[in-house]
Amino acid sequence: MLEIKNLHARIAEDETEILRGVNLTVKAGEVHAIMGPNGSGKSTLSYVLAGKDDYEVTEGEVLFDGQNMLDMSPDERAAAGMFLAFQYPIEIPGVATMEFLKTAMNAQRKARGEAQLSIPDFMKRVKEAAGHLNVSMDMLKRPLNVGFSGGEKKRAEILQMSLLEPKLCVLDETDSGLDIDALRIVSDGVNKLRGPDRAMVVITHYQRLLDHIVPDVVHVLSKGRIVKTGDKDLALELEKNGYADYVDAAA
Amino acid sequence: MNASVPIKHTQAESDLIGRFEAAKGVLTGSVAVTALREAAVSQIRDKGLPHRRVEEYKYTDLRAFMKSAAPLAAAADESAVKAILGGQDAFGGLERYRIVVANGAFLPGLSDVEALASEGVSVTSLTGELAGEHGAQLLASPKSAANDGVLALNTAFVQGGVVVKVKEGAEVSRPVELVHVAASAGAQVSRNKIYVAKGAKLRLLETFAGETGAGELNIVFDYDVADTASLVATRLIVGQSDTARLITSIATIGAQTEFKSLGFIAGPRFIRNQQFINFAGENSNAGIYGVTMARDEDLADQTLIVDHAVPHCNSREFFKTVLDGRAKGVYQGRINVAPHAQKTDGEMMTQALLLSEDAEMANKPELEIFADDVICAHGATSGQIDEDLLFYLRARGIPEDEARTLLVLAFLAEAIEEYGEDDVTEGLEARVRDWLAGH
Ligand SMILES: Nc1ncnc2c1ncn2[C@@H]1O[C@H](COP(=O)(O)OP(=O)(O)OP(=O)(O)O)[C@@H](O)[C@H]1O
Ligand SMILES: [Mg+2]
């Protein structure tokens, strides 16, 4: 589903290279975890996948269902099934959450040539998804993410993901800021979306998320490269020993 | 500059002086009114049209903009007025009464005179009142803008308008739309006096329809809000027009009153919307809001002076401007607090969103405070659409144009929501969308 080949990317503004040859293949139905020290380029990788133009790809390619994803605009990628749950979801004052959800869902449907959702159908979907994720209707009445606590923002991201039903889910530190109960609720929400036609890339620092969302493959990203790949036991080992062994290898 | 040295008149100024001579027969009024008209035209003759070296017009050079001045519009043909009113409806299905002023004159036949009378509102023609013994009072200038050039232009050429009186305690059940129709080409100059008596409540909608051709539009609204009364005035200046739109509000507000206004501007080539608000009684609140959209080479100017002449009054000024192309936005807002106007609370904010590199915003919020026990603040911001917000929306599948539209709407909604007249402002979102879509 996702093939990243020798991806090099730099910050457009000052040309600092952040990704230095990332190779990663994620097949439909798989869950991959990416771990790695602060500043190693995990969020940058997720932004490059989503199409943020602060970053410039200088080499390599990204194929999404065989299509060259780097040629697509962020909204085209989303309509094609790419979803990024942001590490730091942004507050957008003045944009009502419900209005935003409806606009986003219908925009994607339109891009895919599907019919617009009726209001009752839309409401039903939102209520159902919000119920599962313990997101109150009161939160949904507020402007998008405005005044949401850190954990509420993360839950709102997963709510959006559930409603948009993407093929490829990239979760950037969705666990940070969540309390123990919320972590379980959010993980359950994510696990519900697991399926043979969907792939996930889960960026995290902590093994505890991977207890809930058990990955098929674990990668270590260091200094803009994947320096180690293993199964779920790699996460346990990292938890115990830290990154020292791998970080040096990347230098 | 020596006042005795005659200025060299521009074409427009020569036209205006000629227009005055030609129109003497139609520009009626008492002896005192005629004297005011003569004085006003002398001001134009001596000082010319307001230009950039006059502080209040620094960014809005009417003299440079007005290349010529068309004659005053002739009396309107009622069927033409009807056709224009039928063709454009500023407030859609909103239930309301209507007062029609066309080509500068009140048209009682097209206005809801009787229905308004039954609600305690009388409407008469300004023209008749100008001939009466109190005629000159109807043309009084506000203290804070005694020599304003746009007001002088209005005084010299005012053709007519209405005098609206809401009687004591009357709470008018529906908004009243005062619509100015340009039924044929020519300058349209009118002045309207609105009295809201003690305890009365009026919601006014001010709209403008039709095309003035090469003539300017110069309209004055003079509100007199008595103690414990309430006036809410929503002004919609929309649609394309190549000549100057010059609109002035003068408000004198009594004790314990509520006064609110929204000036919504989208489209005209050159617009000056100026407001002079004077607190004359204590414990009153004024909320002055503005929403401006301008593109291409447009100039949109929102100017206001709020005089806190008495203690214990609150004013809130909140203006939003969206500029595209090479448009220029102007906000000049001044809060004056008199030495004895203690416990004044004034909060002024102007914010601009620039959609292009070449758009330009002149933000000039000012406080002039002579009392010591007051809370006053002002702020001004100017910026572009936040790329991170845009990216977030696009990452959810919302195409760029729609994402920009959402963010512009969100930006403007802050002021519209705070203004708070939901039934009246309901249609504004569609107008913003239209404007963004290039209409
Ligand atoms: N837009 C930007 N401007 C400047 N520097 C940037 C930008 N984006 C990323 N960087 C830098 O690139 C490096 C990688 O950042 P990135 O956010 O991808 O790290 P990360 O692996 O997600 O870290 P963390 O675990 O702390 O979230 C960091 O040194 C960061 O400061
Ligand atoms: Mg990160």
B312: phi then psi, degrees, rounded to nearest 5: 65, 40
Per-residue pLDDT of chain A (251 residues; tens, 9 = 90+): 999 999 999 999 998 999 999 999 999 999 999 999 999 999 999 999 999 999 999 999 999 999 999 999 999 999 999 999 999 999 999 899 999 999 999 999 999 999 999 999 999 999 999 998 889 989 999 999 999 988 899 999 999 999 999 999 999 999 988 888 889 888 998 999 999 999 999 999 988 899 999 999 999 999 999 999 999 899 888 888 888 887 765 44
Q: Which ligand minimizes its atom distance to the CA of A36?
A: 1
Q: In terms of C-beta density within 10 A (0-12 exposed, 13-18 middle, 19 or more buried), how is residue B198 classed?
A: middle
ipTM of the modeled complex:
0.95
Which residues 160-189 of A are in CB contact (within 8 Å) with B? 160, 164
Which of A40, A44, A54, A225, when mutated, tests ligand 1's pocket best, judged by the most ligand atoms within 8 Å of its CB? A44
Cβ distance A164 to B397 less than 8 Å, yes or no, reads yes
**Cα gap A203→A42, rounded to integer Å:** 7
The Å distance, Cα A142 to ligand 1 centre, comes to 30
Instruction: State the residue range of the domain holding A187.
Output: 2-248
Query: By mean pLDDT, which of A35-49, B205-219, B251-265, B424-438 is the weakest?
Result: B424-438
Cβ distance B396 to A100 less than 8 Å, yes or no, reads yes
Q: Give the pLDDT of residue B180.
A: 97
Q: How confident is the model at residue B90 (pLDDT cuts 50, 70, 90)?
A: confident
Q: Give the pLDDT of residue B356.
A: 95
* Residue B423 CB coordination number (10 Å): 13
Q: B353, B392, B411, B416: which to substitute to probe chain A, counting the most A Cβ within 10 Å?
A: B392
The share of chain B scoring above pLDDT 90, in percent, equals 91
CATH number at residue A151: 3.40.50.300
Cβ distance A107 to B407 less than 8 Å, yes or no, reads no
**3-state secondary structure at position A121:** helix
Cβ distance A78 to B414 less than 8 Å, yes or no, reads no
Q: How confident is the model at residue B6 (pLDDT cuts 50, 70, 90)?
A: confident
Cβ distance A164 to B396 less than 8 Å, yes or no, reads yes
Q: Give the pLDDT of residue A251.
A: 45
Query: Is residue B53's pLDDT more than 80?
Result: yes
Closest C-alpha to ligand 1, atom 13: A39
Q: B353, B394, B396: which to substitute to probe chain A, counting the most A Cβ within 10 Å?
A: B396
- In SS3 terms, chain B reads as CCCCCCCCCCHHHHHHHHHHHHHCCCCCCCHHHHHHHHHHHHHHHHHCCCCCCCHHHCCCCHHHHCCCCCCECCCCCHHHHHHHHHHCCCCCCCCCEEEEEECCEECHHHCCHHHHHHCCEEEEEHHHHHHCCCHHHHHCCCHHHCCCHHHHHHHHHCCECEEEEECCCCECCCCEEEEEEECCCCEEEEEEEEEECCCCEEEEEEEEEECCCCCCEEEEEEEEECCCCEEEEEEEEECCCCCEEEEEEEEEECCCCEEEEEEEEECCCEEEEEEEEEECCCCCEEEEEEEEEECCCCEEEEEEEEEECCCCCEEEEEEEEEECCCCEEEEEEEEEECCCCCCCEEEEEEEEEECCCCCEEEEEEEEEECCCCCEEEEEEEEECCCHHHHHHHHHCCCCHHHHHHHHHHHHHHHHHHHHCCHHHHCCHHHHHHHHHCCC
Q: In terms of C-beta density within 10 A (0-12 exposed, 13-18 middle, 19 or more buried), how is residue B303 classed?
A: buried
Which ligand 1 atom sits closest to the C-alpha of A18? 12
**From the CA of A47, how many Å to the nearest CA of chain B?**
10
Query: Is residue B380's pLDDT more than 80?
Result: yes
Which of A8, A42, A174, A238, when mutated, tests ligand 1's pocket best, judged by the most ligand atoms within 8 Å of its CB? A42
**From the CA of A99, how many Å to the nearest CA of chain B?**
10
Domain count, chain A: 1
